[in-house]
Amino acid sequence: MALIEQIEKENLPKHIAITMDGNGRWAEKKGKFRVFGHQNGVKAVRGTVETAAEIGIKYLTLYAFSTENWNRSEREVNALMSLLISTINKETKTLMKNDIRLLAIGNLQQLPKKCLKELEEAIEKTKNNKRMTLILALSYSGRWEIVNAVNKILKEKNSKKELTEETFQQYLNTKSVPDPELLIRTSGEKRISNFLLWQIAYCELYFTDTLWPDFRKEDLINAIIDYQKRERRFGKS
Ligand code: FPP
């Protein structure tokens, strides 16, 4: 039986989040600059988005640039921003063709103007697409998102009303998105690294040694099959 046929269609995670790690190590292993790893990482992004949509995943969140990533060398940050601009620009057509809606989460005002403009245009163009939602986490960190939510609440006049988990959720960047059921991290690192801290409360974690530029269709399918073998109890017995 082909690997993809082993996926139970009725038990798909609705939302998959991915920490795309290992671009730098992938490049260094080949004796190349880190940027070469990011360029090849984009190819893995393209393949993963296509496969996720084909399988029937409704939401896919990719950790593309963390708040901490601003501390990398100027050369690497600039290269990543240029790559983002050119990828969003080039791929908007593909998103339209595949009926994929683009969203972004994070402190987007920190992005270079050109990057923000490309992003906003792509979000606007794809806003009515229905097959899958692709969410890019950019200049994002979970703690930033939570503090940002609290600050928004503090600014509201009626902030004395008691909050519930549901109302707090409405102040997060992901308010219109269901929590992920599966978080994948590549490159063998077993950490959360400030990603979707609120949203992963009940999420299944999947770690693979594969470096992000080597992440292929089979790797995504294997992660989903592994997830489907788990018993999700949400704290019940
Ligand atoms: C982690 O590898 C990867 C990143 C910090 C950036 C991910 C960006 C891309 C795949 C390209 C742009 C993305 C889109 C959505 C267009 P690392 O550099 O931390 O690798 P290392 O841990 O081996 O050093």
Q: pLDDT tens for residues 176-210?
A: 999 999 999 999 999 999 999 999 999 999 999 99
Q: pLDDT tens for residues 15-33?
A: 999 999 999 999 999 999 9
Sign of the C-alpha dihedral computed for residues 177, 223, 119 and 129 taken in this order = negative
Q: Is 193 left (phi over 0), alpha (psi -120 to 50) or beta?
A: left
Q: Which residue has the higher pLDDT, 155 or 116?
A: 116
Q: What is the pLDDT of residue 158?
A: 66
Q: Give the confidence band of 159 by pLDDT, cuts at 50, 70, 90.
A: low
- Asked if the model's pLDDT at residue 227 lies above 90, the reply is yes
pTM of the predicted structure, to 2 decimals: 0.95
* Span from the CA of 3 to the centroid of ligand 1 (angstroms): 27
- Cα angle 196, 20, 139 (rounded to 5 degrees) comes to 55
Q: pLDDT tens for residues 36-89?
A: 999 999 999 999 999 999 999 999 999 999 999 999 999 999 999 999 999 999
Residue 118 vs residues 83, 87, 126: alpha-carbon distances, Å: 12, 10, 12
Fold of 18-227: Undecaprenyl pyrophosphate synthetase (3.40.1180)
User: Which atom in ligand 1 lies closest to the alpha carbon of residue 84?
Assistant: 16
Q: How many CB atoms lie within 10 A of CB 75?
A: 11
Active-site hit among 11, 23, 40, 69: 69
173 CB less than 6 Å from ligand 1?
no
Sequence ranges of the domains in the chain: 18-227
